[in-house]
Amino acid sequence: MALFMPNGTDVPETDAERADLDAIQALKESSAIEYKEDGNKFVKMGKKHYSDAIDCYTKAIGQKIPDTLHNSVCYANRAHVNLLLGNNRRAFEDAQEAIKFNRANVKAYFRGAKAALALKLIPEALDMAEKGLELDPLNTELKKIGDQAKAIHHEEDAKKKRDSEALEKAKKLTALLEGRTVNIGKATFNHLTEGRKPWVDKSAMIHWPVLFVHAEVMVSDFIEDFFEMDTFGGHLDINYGDGSPSLLWDTRHEYTRERVELYYLSNAAKPLSNKHVVRWLLENDVGRQFKDVNDDDDSDGDYISFFPLHWKRLSHCRVVTCFVS
């Protein structure tokens, strides 16, 4: 009689045929057990034999015997070796298969949770850890993995909340800038301002980072919080007025309140679209990616202005928004 019966073959009816099938099944079961035990031996022999162990467990599974507990153990054991080898995806899949055969296999839940955690599949890690702990509440290793997964889950939720709040603030500021007809371009001296960005207070007023550059002496003054209703003259009074601290770099005492004048370069930067303004406002949020602010035009090419570049003198009585609008 053939060892394997092709599909469509009649079911054996005689005692002799049934005896042959029973013998074949017994042989398969014996082989499956032997392969599993060989796999266990290879695991104990160390890392050099892990691939042999996986091969044995795979052969044991391949016998496809009807013993669900045996199959569950083989999948769980193979998951264990895959974890040792760093094959986390395979370990996770093997743990899932082990659980399908035996939903009471605590080791399978542990190995699946561990693999899921390594793969950053946090919901899956939590689910497996919780189900495993339902079966074995005192399992400290499972509890440890569950606690780690919970901590990551809470941090991810907190990050999503922070990202959402940052995005809403950026959109709010962009709308305010548009309402004030303020155009924003890429910062020229970003390295001197530490990447600071304008921000909005509770009264919907804008606070700006402002940089004064003294080109003659290669010195700059950075004002981190320039309220939009403040005048430039007010800040000049603080820096250069009577009673102001002496400037170490101004050895000739040439920078006095009466002599200092302010200029800015007009048409120096390409105005950004609203979507790009939002993206620019979020640049300092390391690691954040906001897909809903993507724009089709993502070109960073050199800007060629249709308007002439020229220096404009700035009145000291003007406020900051007057020269960005």
Give the pair of three-digit tokens for residue 58: 């795979």
Give the span between the Cα atoms of 263 and 271, in whole angstroms. 20
**Per-residue model confidence (pLDDT) at position 317:** 74
Q: Tell me, what's the pLDDT at 283?
A: 80
Looking at residue 238, what is its pLDDT?
Answer: 87
Whole-number pLDDT of residue 112? 98
Per-residue pLDDT, 27: 76
Question: Residue 121 — φ and ψ, nearest 5°?
Answer: -90, 75
- pLDDT of 62 reads 94
243: left (phi over 0), alpha (psi -120 to 50) or beta: left
pLDDT the model gives residue 3: 42
Averaged in consecutive runs of 10 residues, what is the pLDDT profile of the chain (325 residues)?
45 59 69 94 96 97 94 98 98 98 98 98 97 98 97 95 93 92 83 88 92 86 90 88 85 86 83 90 61 49 60 76 56
Boundaries of every domain in the chain: 15-147, 179-323
Tokens of 259: 């002599």
Relative to beta strand 310-314, strand 219-227 is unpaired
Parallel, antiparallel, or unpaired: how do β-strands 219-227 and 262-266 relate? unpaired
Q: Which fold has domain 15-147?
A: 1.25.40
The set of long-range contacts for 295-299, using a CB threshold of 8 Å and a minimum separation of 24, is 297/273
Instruction: Give the total residue count for the chain.
Output: 325
